[in-house]
Amino acid sequence: MENLKTQVAIIGSGPAGLLLGQLLYKAGISHIIIEQRSADYVAARIRAGILEQVSVDLLHKAGVDENLKQFGIPHEGIEILTNGLKHRVDLSSLTQGKQVTVYGQTEVTKDLMHAREAADLCTYYEAQNVQIHDFEKQQPYVTFQKDGQSFRLACDFIAGCDGYHGVCRASVPQDKIKTFEKVYPFGWLGVLADVPPVSDELIYVQSERGFALCSMRSKTRSRYYLQVPVTDHVEEWSDERFWNELKSRLDEESCNNLVTGASIEKSIAPLRSFVTEPMRFGKLFLAGDAAHIVPPTGAKGLNLAASDIAYLSSALIEFYQRNSTQGIDEYSEKCLKRVWKAERFSWWMTHLLHRFETETEFDHKIKQAELNYILDSNAGLTTLAENYVGLPY
């Protein structure tokens, strides 16, 4: 067995793990990333693409925003379609100039991977049998295999950035962790296509036939979603069926502007809300999807991971540079305060814009009235806009 040593062991090389690694590198803190999947697999994962202003600022702080500045698409508003009419939510004017930026999570991941490669930082991809040990003691360590060789990595701290199905959360004793979960009875059928977006801004659709979202990755690549039963399979949805169903949920102007084409990726994502409490267990910190999941309606998944990493990187830097444990001791509380606010917003947006099978006509009318109130009220619009652009750290 080969013995390794570092200050922070990071499990998982998604955006959370990579961003933490980049921020620690810039602060001169040694770390090693251990990832179960291959680098090609990590770089190819299709995920969300809306960045809050605070996430953009954090990527700038990490020094990985060159492509973001060049190719990201700033959005100062969104549109909500209900009862066949579109209503624009002016995010910028409602939040003193804040905005969101359309930039795919895939691109964020690639930018972080390229920065890591350029700095010649250590990452073990395709690691097998990853296990974490003694994280509630003074000297935690990680064991894994790579290319038939066994490794033991001694460290001061372990950052669990390995996602919902990862080993880190699963390693916590059940009597020391509490989870909260809500599973929704539908999924999002997503299609990625090399066609221009139907609109310059995102369109969120509340319709009698169910929710839809018109989004984008660039000015020539679009991402569209349909609410579908969770029992549906991708194979049941041809491109033609998808485009026809999308048109049935849009207004006439959007239908006329819609450019259709062959899908280059198609998948159905289940929706759930999930939170772990606490997010720190001795020398182990959970971050990103390892600690919480949000339905994508509020565009908070990647952004919550970024805020976790903002708190965690600051806490670790404070520990190593000032010998203070205050940030470490406050990590879980600070994260969860923001997590639950984002969970509430995502739950609210999901409930407001989707049709539920158990929903009566009365329920639907009430939701329409609530949405109409929000759209006709400056206070309501401000609440929506403040949450959408991202609450402060």
Reply yes or no on whether 15 is catalytic.
Answer: no
Name the catalytic one among 283, 300, 334, 367.
300
Asked if residues 93 and 61 have their Cβ atoms less than 8 Å apart, the reply is no
Residue 22, CA atoms < 13 Å, CB-side half-sphere:
29
Q: Is residue 296 annotated as part of the catalytic site, yes or no?
A: yes
pLDDT of residue 351: 95
In 129-189, where does DSSP find H-type helix? 167-170
**How many angstroms separate the CA atoms of 250 and 81, rounded?**
8
Residue-level pLDDT at 52: 96
Tokens of 287: 């971050």
| Active-site annotation holder among 140, 197, 296, 320 | 296
CB under 8 Å to 287, separation ≥6 — which residues? 16, 20, 159, 160, 161, 279, 305, 308, 309, 312, 335
Q: Hey, which residues does 95 pair with through a beta bridge?
A: none
Q: Is the dihedral of CA 311, 163, 202, 67 positive or negative?
A: positive
Question: Which residue, among 47, 36, 56, has the nearest Cα to 310 in the 3D structure?
Answer: 56
Specify whether 140 is catalytic.
no
Question: For residue 368, which amino acid is it?
Answer: Q
Query: What region does 89 belong to: left with phi over 0, alpha with psi -120 to 50, or beta?
Result: beta
pLDDT at 49: 83
The per-residue pLDDT for 292 is: 98
Please give the single-letter amino acid code of residue 112.
L
d(CA 271, CA 185): 8
Location of structure tokens 């609440």: 383
Instruction: Choose among 34, 2, 1, 304: nearest CA to 167.
Output: 34
| Annotated catalytic residue within 75, 98, 283, 334 | 75
Q: Which of 204, 225, 311, 320 is labelled catalytic?
A: 204
CB 131 within 8 Å of CB 143: yes
| C-alpha–C-alpha distance, residues 41 and 187, integer Å | 23
HSE value, Cβ hemisphere, 13 Å, CA-based, for 121? 30
**Residue of 136, 356, 158, 177 lying closest to 275 (CA atoms):** 177
**Of residues 305, 299, 389, the one with CA closest to residue 59:** 305
- What is the predicted pLDDT for the residue at 393? 86
Q: Which two tokens stand for residue 288?
A: 């990103």
The pLDDT assigned to 151 comes to 98
Q: Over its length of 393 residues, how does the chain's per-residue pLDDT go in tens digits?
A: 899 999 999 999 999 999 999 999 999 999 999 999 999 999 887 677 899 999 999 999 999 999 999 999 999 999 999 988 999 999 999 999 999 999 989 999 999 999 999 999 999 999 999 999 999 999 999 999 999 999 999 999 999 999 999 999 999 999 999 999 999 999 999 999 999 999 999 999 999 899 999 999 888 999 999 999 999 999 999 999 999 999 999 999 999 999 999 999 999 999 999 999 999 999 999 999 999 999 999 899 999 999 999 999 999 999 999 999 999 999 999 999 999 999 999 999 999 999 998 889 899 889 989 999 999 999 999 999 999 999 988
